[in-house]
A and B are shown apart, each in its own frame.
Chain A
């Protein structure tokens, strides 16, 4: 039973439209992250959260916003999608204070902006 789920799994959207990706966890972990993965770049951090309503920017945050109104949900919004945001998006959770497993990843969302 997966402790972290992402939705949708696949999405095709048009340039200029807003898009929201959802990450839901049942592990009650404090930390949640959004990464994007692109060939040649690996996983790059977009935004992360260290508690309800507590978020911070990662290295590639331009064009993205996040919200965390509940411990279990972390939303990633592309304000106005561009073709450069075509990517695979991974959500991850962690509880660094209590285990040494680093992250648990969601299954990913493949987003195509046309």
Chain B
């Protein structure tokens, strides 16, 4: 079976740094994705990791450890517009589809 866990909700202050964790147990692994979803909108792509290590893209970074079944999304210099849900998704090996965690709702306060 597939199991992906992320915290349900997090809060942070504008200008701060926040780390959103994701752990996964899947039958095979072929990449991990992070998506951002604002309320009432569609998810949009943030990052992709398939090898261990850190991928940096502006204020957002994503880390992967395949041996630990663990990833995190790091958001720096938080802005109010970063208030959204962040979805962790795993591409299972041999399948062209993604399995999603339940998402982490991030609330950024002034």
Which A residues have a C-beta under 8 Å from some C-beta of B?
31, 33, 35, 40-45, 48, 50, 58, 90, 94, 96, 100-108
Contacts and interface: CB of A to CB of B under 8 A. Distances in A.
| B interface, size bucket | 20 to 34
B102 interface: yes
Given A100-B48, A102-B33, A107 B41 contact: yes
Given A41-B102, A42-B87, A105-B42, 19 more contacts: A40-B102, A42-B100, A42-B101, A42-B102, A42-B103, A43-B100, A45-B99, A96-B96, A100-B31, A100-B48, A100-B50, A102-B33, A102-B45, A102-B48, A103-B45, A105-B43, A106-B42, A107-B41, A107-B42
Interface of B: 31, 33, 35, 41-45, 48, 50, 87, 89, 91, 96-103
A73 to B, nearest CB: 19
Contacts of A45: 97, 99
A72 to B, nearest CB: 18
Contacts, number: 54
Contacts of B48: 100-102
B96 A103 contact: no
Contacts of B41: 107-108
Contacts of A94: 96
A101 B48 CA distance: 7
A31 B91 CA distance: 14
Given A40-B102, A100-B48, A102-B89, A48 B97 contact: yes
